[in-house]
Amino acid sequence: MRHFQTKIFEILLVEDEPADAHLVQIGLEENESPCKLHHVKDGLEALDFLRRQGEQFASTPRPHLILLDLNMPRMNGREFLAALKADPALAAIPVVILTTSDSDHDVSASYQAGAAGYIVKPAGMDEFNAALKGVERYWCGLVRLPGMG
């Protein structure tokens, strides 16, 4: 198995719940991953980040992975995923759904819309960290992504 990439692995977290965003940040820090986490609060902000629209996003990096919550205000995860996959400049960025929904409908719809993975947020901190470690191991260590040679 390859070890973690030598370059910084850029992750965009699209999550409206500050507590959940904080848990992801803590989990990545505890796992000592070579990931840099960027956080936005909804799909509209995520599109601005990705398209570098607005002063605050003028020099944002292109993420290697997007972690996406489904249930958010303004533009939810489903709407964001559809907009992302419809944009040829952004469609290749892998998206892993990270949500509380365990609905078969949400799982199926997410994969049909182009999600690369679907993770139900575990309730406990240990389980949450284990899930993040699995995401890191797969996306940072095993998968070959553009620009991460």
* Whole-angstrom distance, CA of residue 85 vs CA of residue 123: 30
Is beta strand 65-68 parallel, antiparallel or unpaired with respect to 35-40?
unpaired
What is the architecture of the domain spanning 9-142?
Answer: 3-Layer(aba) Sandwich (3.40)
Domain boundaries in the chain?
9-142
DSSP per-residue string spanning 36-67: EEEEESSHHHHHHHHHT-SGGGTTPPPPSEEE
User: 37 near 24, Cβ under 8 Å?
Assistant: yes
75 secondary structure, DSSP code: S
Residue position matching structure tokens 């719940």:
17
* Whole-angstrom distance, CA of residue 34 vs CA of residue 136: 9
For residue range 11-41, list pLDDT tens digits in order.
Answer: 999 999 998 898 888 888 776 667 889 999 9
Q: Which residues of the chain have pLDDT under 70?
A: 1-6, 31-33, 146-149
Q: What is the pLDDT of residue 4?
A: 44
